[in-house]
Amino acid sequence: MLPSFLIPESVIREAGTGPELSLGPSQGGLLILTLGITRIIEQQSLDVSIWGSADNTDWGSKPLLSFPQKFYCGTYQLLLDLSQHPNVQSVRAKWQVNRWGRGEGKPLFGIYLFAQETKAQAISKTA
């Protein structure tokens, strides 16, 4: 049920997958996804993607949407139009992390990902 966290505020150090979120009445709707990066160390990157499923078993071979690769703290938003995927009943987030350079080899990020439903009219008025 929305609004809800796809990734609750967490410290991550390796790749992972968030919990499944049932869309309920938001199925086929328009979602605003807010990615917050609250903690980061230098020389690392974060890739976050959103996956959809009709049955909570098959998550497909490619994501519904991916955030551009991130390197810095900040708040980033993307719009996910599920009208192009009417059979999707649940969504979840996956992330990959990478670290290079000197120092400890393990990445460190503080992140959260929040999903909320919006209406097309609200988007068109701000555009």
pLDDT tens digits, one per residue of 78-118: 999 999 999 999 999 999 999 987 777 789 999 999 999 98
Looking at residue 62, its pLDDT comes to 96
Residue 25 belongs to some domain of the structure = yes
Number of domains in the chain: 1
Residue 55 belongs to some domain of the structure = yes
- 40 CB-near residues (< 8 Å, 6+ apart): 46, 71, 72, 73, 108, 109, 110
Domain that holds residue 74: 4-119
* Global model pTM greater than 0.85: yes
Average pLDDT over residues 48-55: 97
27: left (phi over 0), alpha (psi -120 to 50) or beta: beta
- Bond prior to 8 in cis (omega within 30° of 0): no
Residue 100 belongs to some domain of the structure = yes
Looking at residue 91, its pLDDT comes to 97
Looking at residue 123, its pLDDT comes to 53
Other residues' Cβ atoms within 10 Å of the Cβ of residue 125: 8
Residue 62 belongs to some domain of the structure = yes
Residue 125 belongs to some domain of the structure = no
Please list the residues that pair with 40 across neighbouring strands.
109
Query: Which tens digits make up the pLDDT trace of 8-38?
Result: 999 999 999 999 999 999 999 999 999 999 9
Residue 126 belongs to some domain of the structure = no
Residue 127 belongs to some domain of the structure = no
- In this structure, what CATH number is given to the domain that contains residue 50? 2.60.120
25 in Cβ contact with 4 (< 8 Å): no
Q: Is the pLDDT of residue 124 over 70?
A: no
Residue 69 belongs to some domain of the structure = yes
Which residue in 65, 8, 69 sits closest to 44, CA to CA? 69
